[in-house]
Structure 1
Amino acid sequence: MSQARSTTSSFPPTVLIDVDGTIADSLPAIIEGFKVAMRAIDHPIPGEAFLRRIPGPPMVETLASLGLPPAQVDEAFTAYMDHQRGGGWAGATMFPGWPELLRRWRDDGLRLATATSKGEYFARKTLERFGLEDAFDFIGAADDDGDRRTKIDVIRYTLDQLGIPTAPEQRSAGSVVMIGDRTHDFSGAALFGIPSVAVEWGYGSAQEIAEADGSAADPEELDFTIRRMLYL
């Protein structure tokens, strides 16, 4: 995999891509890990509607949204991570079309990077299992043991590592686009003036999808939309 480019005002058209719910159908694996976390703190497992909204935001945010005290959030998160490290991460499958799509974009000179709230270790393991890791110029992800957990923090980090200005006025139009499936992807991209595309096969509601600047129902439509937004 190539290294991130040094800081420069000129860079190739760049696509930032979420992982869970966009590339990886990880909902079953994440839900199972969440249930393990709930059992570890003897907390009732929420209903199906709540469970389906888990993928996207950092797990600590999801746990805190239940009103748990900080000590229980830490205990539950530790149980969740232990489950993932024990092989739970491998329950994810790949949504169709990604190998061909990424290869096409690379062949046409686009620079590709992930921008995921998934921890970097599991993001890499997942992409490696799918045979996709080498398709990316940079793996932008949450810090496994640090403070970089939110989508905003991940996008900022990824832009910095790629040498892309975070201020939109310092970038030309059609230079960067974000692909995701949840509101965190779209609102995070918007903070940096980056247009976003929602994949309709992910976990976002119709209301969340409407927050994006465009949407795609299948890989072919995604390809068309990305090229349009990057003026290709």
Structure 2
Amino acid sequence: MKQYLFFDLDGTVTDSKTGIIRSVQHALAHFNVSRADEDLLYFIGPPLRDSFGKIFDGDTAKAELAVKKYREYYTVTGIFENALYDGIADLLAALRGAGRVVSLATSKPEPFALRILEHFGIAGLFDHVAGAELTGPRNSKSSVLRHACGLCDVDDMQQCLMVGDRKYDVLGAHAVGMSCAGVLYGYGSRRELEEAGAECLCDDVPSLRRMLLA
């Protein structure tokens, strides 16, 4: 029974694949680069600059321009090509009702994360919202989690649990000394989460609810 719960956004709270992939395709079109949608799923989770860096072989100037082009589409349209996972809002409300401290911890830029939560009417279900900076050093999952722990005034990492769908969530949680529950309804595979060392795995939102409220 962990007191402080930190939820990832993409692939954990919302199904955001459509908006993210269309935004990536918009950016790649500027460079006349063609990729199948299924080959771009790795963009969901890590910082954008890292993902574009893989396509452009570490060319930081191209990666930065690609991020700019991505946001041209994402900030207007892609951000809302998104949906809440069934049952997630009820789970967040139940956790708050049980006295748990519930925070969002996402590598998505914080202003975008706030817009998404407000769009779906669930901003009030989080005690704190921690995201990456649009420009600045806070962009990895570990740096976001350190920021989130500061907002919560955490003094015992054993009372903390990260909930996410990718290895970045697991590795980021472990880097700051907390455990991680992996969810299999998102974008990471069972193998990915197991190899990263997730302490437990949940097949769907009902099983996550049973685990968190047991």
Q: TM-score, normalised by structure 2?
A: 0.93
Q: Give the alignment partner of residue 63 of structure 1, picking from 46, 52, 69.
A: 52
2:167 is aligned to 183
2:119 is aligned to 129
1:112-170 deviation line (CA, Å, top 9, x unaligned): 001100111110111111111010010010112322111111111111121114xxxxx
Equivalences for residues 88-167 of structure 1 within 5 A: 88-165=78-155
Q: Which segments of structure 1 move beyond 3 Å, counting only runs of 4 or more?
A: none
1:33-71 deviation line (CA, Å, top 9, x unaligned): 0011111122x2334443122100011110011215111
**How far apart in 1 are the matches of 2:205 and 2:97?**
16
1:52 counterpart SS class = helix
Gaps of 5+ in 2: none
Matched, 1:202 2:202: no
**How far apart in 2 are the matches of 1:141 and 1:130?**
17
Identity %: 28
**How far apart in 2 are the matches of 1:180 and 1:202?**
8
Q: Give the alignment partner of residue 23 of structure 1, picking from 13, 16, 19.
A: 13
Q: TM-score, normalised by structure 1?
A: 0.86
1:212 is aligned to 198
User: Contact (CA 8 Å) 1:117, 1:142: kept in 2 or not?
Assistant: yes
* Structure 1 or 2: more helix by fraction: 2
User: Contact (CA 8 Å) 2:162, 2:169: kept in 1 or not?
Assistant: yes
- Count of matched residue pairs: 210
Structural RMSD (CA): 1.5
User: Contact (CA 8 Å) 1:29, 1:91: kept in 2 or not?
Assistant: yes
